[in-house]
């Protein structure tokens, strides 16, 4: 445990302060040198570094993220043929013992050719090959995988629930192996200043996290989601949002997915997709009549609500359901919102949980499939100006679990030489930081702290992405920094 942090500079041109930490809480903040703090191994000298509250990633799929970091990444492919070629060269250089070969990250929204089973059969015919799209709302199978997963018809591309069903069965590594990968992913998150995540993995997450904490996991605060298919079980076990279950892990929201995604052209919209042959307006995965009763049932059982809505029609229906429920919650994504719906977030107490890097990944796809509507796509500025509470996340594995990437995307709306994507929707760095943190650097708050080498208020978009983090503390305990490195070295020595 760290007893004090000396000589740390709060953002905004303030003089350096000393922080006294006790029982996981900041017990005092005073001008540097004003308190009599003896030095010791449990005191960090920040050396004038900047101090921030610990960062949160408000939307993560932790098991998927931990696994996707090890899967074949076809994210660079600009056609189905290119994706197949990437898989071919990846297979040449790796000995994959798993019986199913898995790749991730394809974005077919702008491809000139069609992803079909036969394109993949040309690469691998004798083993099952599954590629998961970047937005995780579709999977692309070769013929062997179609046989293996009992997909009897179609061209090898599955969407929404059919895709999720295949993805769920791909968690083929043992719990022990996946838990180790999760531990590594969490350590890397802590190295970016993260102290907490909302884990919306599409699983029965309770057992996974109990087991991980039992195995020593203590790098992050975790709030895990419960999905409708597990709601009965969760209620029977008396789970409810906020209930601590082990270590710093607690029960998060009831997560309901009401529509698809932009890349898969299943986000449910008020206007049709250009050239759509089926699902012209996207796909509603929970009928409107069922949504509010489902939310009411979760709410009555003590669950906070997190409603996935990407298209403007799905957002409107989710807001309608919150209005009928008479209680707020969160909308996850809120990627396309009608102007008239913007003020309803604040009025209904609905937080917009958004992933700014998606706008960078999808700016071209958005122009193509939401033509003439992108001025209200990823409307961060409008949401904040309308009074909505906005929080940021990555939706890892869709984007990397790194809040600095989200902060950079939210404030610059570009990640390269291109002009900002609707720069009028950019928010300030201070706003993005507030949307990525849950506490303050103040007495009485959690001792969740990050020490960084540079002032984010003075950095450009590129610098923000690679923000140098020096120390991360969660509840007063180092989760990243020299102390953690020393511990690790001692353990392996």
Chain contacts with Zn ion (rule: CB under 5 A): 395
Which segments of 103-159 does DSSP mark as H helices, in order?
117-121, 143-148
Closer CB to Zn ion, 7 or 355, in the complex: 355
For residue 408, give the nearest of 384, 390, 433, 389 by alpha carbon.
Answer: 433
- Residue 275 C-beta: closest distance to Zn ion, Å: 27
User: Using CA atoms, how far apart are residues 106 and 135, in angstroms rounded to an integer?
Assistant: 8
Least distance in Å: CB of 354 to Zn ion?
12
Taking a C-beta distance cutoff of 8 angstroms, is the pair 123, 87 a contact? yes
What CA–CA distance (Å, rounded) separates 141 from 154?
Answer: 10
Nearer to Zn ion, 307 or 407 (CB): 307
Nearer to Zn ion, 188 or 395 (CB): 395
CB of 369 to Zn ion, least distance (A): 19
128 vs 134, beta carbon nearer Zn ion: 134
Least distance to Zn ion, CB of residue 169, Å: 19
State the nearest-atom distance from the C-beta of 308 to Zn ion, in Å: 7
Q: Shortest Cβ distance from residue 287 to Zn ion (Å)?
A: 21
- CA dihedral (328, 449, 441, 196) in degrees, to 10, reads 0
Cα 406 versus chain centre, distance: 10
Helices vs strands, H then E, count in the chain: 17, 22
DSSP for residue 20: E
The residue among 64 and 472 lying less far from Zn ion, judged by its C-beta, is 64
Angle made by CA atoms 123, 128, 129, in degrees to the nearest 5: 55
Nearer to Zn ion, 57 or 395 (CB): 395
Minimal distance in Å, beta carbon 198 to Zn ion?
Answer: 10
Closest residue to Zn ion: CB criterion: 395
Q: Measured from the CB atom, is 19 or 331 closer to Zn ion?
A: 331
Ranges assigned E (strand) in 11-155: 17-22, 25-31, 43-45, 50-53, 55-60, 72-73, 100-106, 128-133, 138-141
């Amino acid at each position: 445990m760290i007893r004090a942090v000396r000589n740390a500079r709060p953002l905004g041109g303030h003089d350096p302060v000393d922080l006294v930490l006790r029982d996981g809480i900041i017990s005092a903040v005073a001008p540097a040198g004003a308190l009599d703090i003896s030095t010791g191994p449990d005191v960090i000298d920040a050396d004038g570094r900047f101090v921030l509250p610990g960062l949160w990633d408000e939307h993560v799929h932790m098991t998927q993220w931990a696994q996707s970091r090890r899967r074949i990444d076809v994210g660079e492919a600009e056609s189905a043929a290119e994706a197949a070629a990437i898989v071919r060269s990846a297979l040449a250089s790796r000995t994959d013992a798993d019986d199913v070969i898995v790749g991730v990250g394809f974005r077919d929204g702008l491809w000139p050719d069609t992803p079909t089973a036969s394109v993949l059969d040309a690469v691998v015919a004798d083993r099952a090959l599954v590629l998961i799209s970047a937005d995780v709302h579709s999977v692309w199978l070769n013929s062997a995988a179609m046989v293996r997963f009992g997909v009897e018809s179609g061209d090898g591309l599955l969407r929404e629930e059919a895709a999720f069903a295949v993805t769920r069965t791909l968690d083929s590594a043992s719990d022990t192996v996946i838990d180790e990968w999760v531990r590594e992913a969490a350590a890397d998150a802590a190295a970016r200043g993260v102290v907490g995540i909302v884990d919306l993995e599409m699983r029965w997450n309770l057992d996974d996290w109990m087991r991980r904490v039992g195995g020593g996991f203590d790098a992050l605060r975790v709030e895990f989601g419960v999905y409708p298919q597990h709601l009965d079980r969760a209620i029977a076990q008396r789970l409810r949002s906020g209930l601590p279950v082990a270590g710093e892990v607690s029960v998060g929201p009831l997560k309901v997915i009401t529509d698809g995604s932009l890349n898969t052209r299943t986000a449910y919209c008020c206007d049709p997709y250009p050239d759509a042959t089926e699902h012209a307006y996207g796909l509603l995965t929970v009928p409107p009549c069922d949504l509010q009763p489902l939310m009411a049932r979760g709410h009555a059982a003590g669950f906070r609500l997190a409603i996935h809505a990407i298209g403007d029609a799905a957002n409107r229906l989710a807001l309608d359901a919150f209005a009928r429920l008479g209680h707020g919650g969160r909308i996850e994504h809120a990627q396309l919102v009608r102007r008239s719906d913007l003020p309803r977030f604040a009025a209904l107490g609905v937080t917009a949980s958004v992933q700014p890097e998606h706008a960078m990944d999808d700016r071209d796809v958005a122009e193509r499939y939401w033509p003439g509507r992108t001025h209200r796509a990823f409307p961060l500025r409008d949401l904040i100006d309308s009074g909505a509470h906005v929080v940021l996340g990555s939706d890892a594995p869709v984007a990397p679990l790194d809040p600095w990437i989200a902060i950079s995307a939210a404030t610059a709306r570009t990640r390269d030489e291109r002009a900002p994507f609707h720069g009028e929707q950019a928010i300030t760095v201070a706003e993005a930081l507030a949307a990525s943190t849950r506490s303050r650097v103040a007495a009485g708050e959690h001792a969740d702290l990050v020490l960084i080498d540079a002032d984010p208020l003075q950095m450009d978009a590129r610098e923000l992405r690679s923000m140098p983090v020096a120390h991360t503390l969660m509840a007063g305990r180092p989760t990243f920094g020299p102390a953690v490195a020393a511990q690790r070295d001692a353990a392996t020595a």
